[in-house]
Structure 1
Amino acid sequence: MTAPMQPACKGFILVVEDEPALRLLLEHSLRQRGYRVSAVPDGEQALSFLETTRPDVALLDWMMPGLSGLDLCRIIRQKPGLKDLPILFLTARMDEQDVIAGLDNGADDYLTKPCSADRLDARLRALLRRTRPVQDIITFGPLTLEPEHHQVTRNGRPVPLGPTEYRLLELFMRHPRRVFSREDLLERIWGPNVHVEIRTIDVHIRRLRKALNHEGEPDLIRTIRAAGYALEDGRMARQPSAD
């Protein structure tokens, strides 16, 4: 029986929240609604995360020990590669002057706690619509990927993909023929602070191959022994790999 398709990833959210219970609740709720999530407990760890990984939206608490959410927002806005990163405050501070201060210091939106999951989801979707540019269609060999609609075709045939397989293929298509190690793929797809078994990559590569390669079609994913995986255009036909 074919497993039901998971919805495409709606966006990558960095949650910065010092309260453990609320941090876990936000992680769970956002993942249930189709977002990819990384969560950290303070501003210092958020800055460390942002040195290597750019999310689609940063969801910040204001009142945190050490570096406050407001200070973190100011720092993010001063960094050349993060000046346009969408920032949403989710905080218990509800005074109008606090809202004004948050927006004046670079936040794109402001929500007060408690906040329903539906309302948070709506604000995140609105931010993503405003800040995501219309993305160019990517083509390589027989493959076409439309980032705006999360659609993939091979020679015009629709290729249904789960969210992880989609992200893998998009990475491969943006860097065709480049060899990615399993460690590279884990960090780029799941993020540097998420613990995932290394062999998980092989499982998703098998799923990606199964979706891409119908009977008689050349395998587009090349396995480089002891090195990793790369995307080829299929001109050198070979039987699909078992890896």
Structure 2
Amino acid sequence: MRDGYDADIGRERFPSALVVESSVGQARLVCDLMRGLGFAHVWAGTDSATAFADLHQLTPDLLVLAVDVEPLDGFALAQTVRSAAQAGLRDLPILFLTPNATEGQVAQVRAIARSILMLKPPSRDSLRSHIALLMRAGRPATAGAGARPRP
């Protein structure tokens, strides 16, 4: 660890993240893992209705977004974020979480700039490596065996 952040995350460091997860237990797990990776501020939300407002108010450096949030699913929320007037939101890196990656989900993530897809529940190591890939790539990506589509 250097500067309080996990050295394997990449050159850029994330001081803050907003985790939007439909399950309170999953949100708590992801937030705890993020803090363990050295994120200084981690906020949790459980629905997409308030997430967009939270993004404007909190201005996090990373959005961790479950595909299955409601009332807007994660992809619809991501499209709203990408079309935001605020430049910082339009370029916000997005880590999508899903219980099983379908071909359709993989295609949707590839179409969204600065995004990556990973299976949940995440482990500390998988979360760290997906964030590192997201930051190194700086482009749409899917990574690792966990992001392969399932039939």
Amino acid at match of 2:98: T
Q: Which residue of 2 aligns with 1:114?
A: 121
Larger radius of gyration: 1
Distance 2:74 2:114 in 1: 10
Amino acid at match of 1:109: I
Distance 1:127 1:21 in 2: 25
Q: Which residue of 2 aligns with 1:102?
A: 109
Please give the residue correspondences for 1:160-171 in structure 2 after superposition, counting only pairs within 5 Å: none
Please give the residue correspondences for 1:201-212 in structure 2 after superposition, counting only pairs within 5 Å: none
Structure with more contact order per residue of length (Cα contacts < 8 Å, sep ≥ 6): 2
Q: Which residue of 2 aligns with 1:37?
A: 42
- Tell me whether 1:57 sits opposite 2:62 in the alignment: yes
Distance 2:32 2:112 in 1: 29
CA deviation after TM superposition for structure 1 residue 65, in Å: 2.4
Deviations 1:130-188 (A, max 9, x none): 55xxxxxxxxxxxxxxxxxxxxxxxxxxxxxxxxxxxxxxxxxxxxxxxxxxxxxxxxx
Amino acid at match of 1:49: D
Distance 1:29 1:53 in 2: 20
Gaps of 5+ in 2: 6-12, 139-151
Gaps of 5+ in 1: 1-5, 132-243
Distance 1:33 1:50 in 2: 21
CA RMSD of aligned residues (A): 2.0
Alignment coverage as a number of residue pairs: 126
Q: TM-score, normalised by structure 2?
A: 0.74
As a proportion of its length, which structure holds more helix? 2
Q: 1:8 aligns with which of 4, 9, 15?
A: 4
Deviations 1:62-115 (A, max 9, x none): 112211111100100101322111111111141122211232244611112233
Q: TM-score, normalised by structure 1?
A: 0.47
Identity %: 29
Q: Which residue of 2 aligns with 1:183?
A: none
